[in-house]
Structure 1
Amino acid sequence: MMPGDTNMTSSLMTEVRAADLKLVPRRADDGSPGVLTYHSASPPVTYMHICETDHFSMGVFLLKSGASIPLHDHPGMHGILKVMYGKVRISCFDRLERADGSPQAVPPLPPAQLGAMRRSVLRCAGEYTEESGPCVLTPDRDNLHQIDAVDGPTAFMDILAPPYDPDEGRDCHYYKVLTDSDVNNTEPKEKEVWLMEISQPPDFWCGGEPYPGPEVCL
């Protein structure tokens, strides 16, 4: 996806609303998938698959109230996220080359874990609603991010180009912040941090349900 393509797609997504996709906002006390019920076995996050080609994937994520998509990356990929209903907080990080600036002191870790560390910077953390413009990521900017549902259930449309493909080196990796950083700060804030690559957090998993909206013609 070229910058011009990203700008055009982002502009088009600005106009999309939940009703266009036949999405009905979930209530916090709704037992349907995508709504917080910690006493049930339903997943904290649900994905509605819309379509996928060799060039892009499109779908909708539904987060229960209080749920999060943990800090993760999109290697070599462009992405556009547009909230359909509710509110999300998105915290964006970029990887830094060790040659840039003065490296931070390395946190005390066992030698086996040092290879999983990534020097990064917290670029921004902000809140998005259906009235907000899309959040755009590139292979080099805001590529790592964490998404948190705020004040109730939420849903957002997600486009990735190209889509995840482990065989092509585009696999999802998860991270945790090792150095102090307030990722819930809603003001833009650049701060260098150490991230460590981890396995998928055990309290996060993603279920699926049918997409109720119009078919996409490719």
Structure 2
Amino acid sequence: MMPRDHMTSLIQIIARQALATFRSPAAVGEGSKSFLENHGKLRGLLAEVTAADLNIAPRAAGGAPAAHSPPVTYMHICETEAFSMGVFLLKGGTSIPLHDHPGMHGMLRVIYGTVRISCFDRADKPPDGASEAALGPPPPPAPLPYQRGALRRCVLRSAGEFTVESGPCMLSPHRDNLHQIDAVDGPTAFLDILAPPYDPDDGRDCHYYRLLQAGPELQQQQHQEVWLMEIPQPSEFWCGSEPYPGPQVSV
């Protein structure tokens, strides 16, 4: 446990460290020494946080979510131009569908339950003069001809389960940037940091995708090339909101 002033909550310290890590866009880069040092500090702090630190009690497992009940709930903690932070609560058997984080870094820390996270990267574009087929399998037929432009060649980077015993799950603008999050064996919740926040006016809108090659074998074949198709937000997914019950955060 990292030492801290007992009058200052851990989530406040995390928020201040997130601001120090992401406040200067010019310094945010995987090759920047200062960024890597701050990023490491933030990751270490996230690894310490628990549901009790946020005054959140684990939800009890129940039956299938009611038709009118949101499958996912968000508790907003804080947001600046540099980052946003909040808690997502997933009911048992629900998912946050496959989606992206354009130009963004992300950090996810499970605070109760278990999630399965499948992460994808966009595949490199072929060299000038080379066909896309040179990179791997050709694209499958689009469900409808006009949807061919919505196809995206990607690589399954990782797929695994995360619990309170796991370290934070990380994503960057170029690695693990597309992911799907599934609740496993009951309700789950995680603390989420995105930097910078989503902002459609600044080119950071959330896009949803469908995996065109589905099948259980995909989960055992990391680095497998796959094809995704951009789709509208799935009708079965929406996000409700609840007040955040934990210590106040000021940034």
Q: TM-score, normalised by structure 2?
A: 0.80
Structure 1 stretch 175-184 or stretch 154-163: which is displaced more?
175-184
3-state SS in 1 of match to 2:135: coil
Larger Rg: 2
**Which of 158, 161, 177 is the aligned partner of 2:192?**
158
Structure 2: give runs of 5+ residues left out of the alignment. 1-21, 23-27, 29-34, 128-133
**Which of 202, 212, 215 is the aligned partner of 2:245?**
212
- Are the equivalent residues in 1 in contact too, given 2:64–2:93 (CA < 8 A)? no
Residue 201 of structure 2 corresponds to which residue in structure 1?
167
1:15 aligns with 2:48: yes
- Counterpart of 1:89, as a letter, is R
Superposition RMSD in Å: 1.6
Residue 199 of structure 1 corresponds to which residue in structure 2?
232
- Are the equivalent residues in 1 in contact too, given 2:118–2:181 (CA < 8 A)? yes
- Are the equivalent residues in 2 in contact too, given 1:51–1:57 (CA < 8 A)? yes
**Which of 108, 127, 132 is the aligned partner of 2:161?**
127
Structure having the larger proportion of residues in strand: 1
Residue 88 of structure 2 corresponds to which residue in structure 1?
61
Residue 4 of structure 2 corresponds to which residue in structure 1?
none
Deviation at 1:38, TM superposition (A): 2.8
- Are the equivalent residues in 1 in contact too, given 2:65–2:91 (CA < 8 A)? no
Q: Aligned pair in 2 of structure 1 residues 148, 184: CA closer, same or farther (>3 Å)?
A: farther
What is the identity percentage for the equivalent residue pairs of Structure 1 and Structure 2? Answer: 63
**Which of 181, 184, 196 is the aligned partner of 1:147?**
181
Residue 104 of structure 2 corresponds to which residue in structure 1?
77
Deviation at 1:40, TM superposition (A): 4.4
Structure having the larger proportion of residues in helix: 2
- Counterpart of 1:16, as a letter, is V
Q: TM-score, normalised by structure 1?
A: 0.92
Deviation at 1:97, TM superposition (A): 2.5
- Counterpart of 1:11, as a letter, is G
Q: Aligned pair in 2 of structure 1 residues 164, 112: CA closer, same or farther (>3 Å)?
A: same
Deviation at 1:41, TM superposition (A): 1.2
Structure 1 stretch 133-142 or stretch 37-46: which is displaced more?
37-46
- Are the equivalent residues in 1 in contact too, given 2:117–2:161 (CA < 8 A)? yes
Residue 51 of structure 1 corresponds to which residue in structure 2?
78
